[in-house]
Amino acid sequence: MTVADLKKLLEPMFDAMLHDHERATLSYHLEQRVGEQWLGDKEPLGDDDVVGSTMTWVRWEVLDEEGGSASLDLDGSPEELVEAVQSDLQDFIAETSFAWGELRQPRTQP
């Protein structure tokens, strides 16, 4: 799976979880580690890079607040991967100043 493939899976989830004004400020990228080493010295992976390690994280920024996912489980189904990132995004949303304490469910299913 490439970074571009993974982004295609995640885009509908971001659309469903974030309000339009929040979504308009979203920027995100993927980072990857092998052992204790960050690949590319913590540089974001490019769209053509292959994501082949379970040491991959999605990092995002919404309304100037930064967060991210836990390490992605790339061995499961695409649906399970998206659900795991969605859970991490929900936790992030609930801890932000713009949506403190909100328990958001997707507005539409991705």
Whole-angstrom distance, CA of residue 15 vs CA of residue 36: 33
Would you tell me how many other CB atoms lie within 10 Å of the CB of residue 93?
A: 22
Provide CB contacts within 8 A for 19, sequence distance 6+: none
Whether the per-residue pLDDT at 88 is higher than 70: the answer is: yes
pLDDT tens for each residue of 1-54: 899 999 999 999 999 999 999 999 999 999 887 666 555 556 778 899 888 766
Whether the per-residue pLDDT at 92 is higher than 70: the answer is: yes
pLDDT tens for each residue of 51-77: 876 688 899 999 999 999 988 888 889
Sign of torsion over alpha carbons 104, 15, 3, 9: positive
Confidence (pLDDT) at 110: 43
Whole-angstrom distance, CA of residue 78 vs CA of residue 93: 22
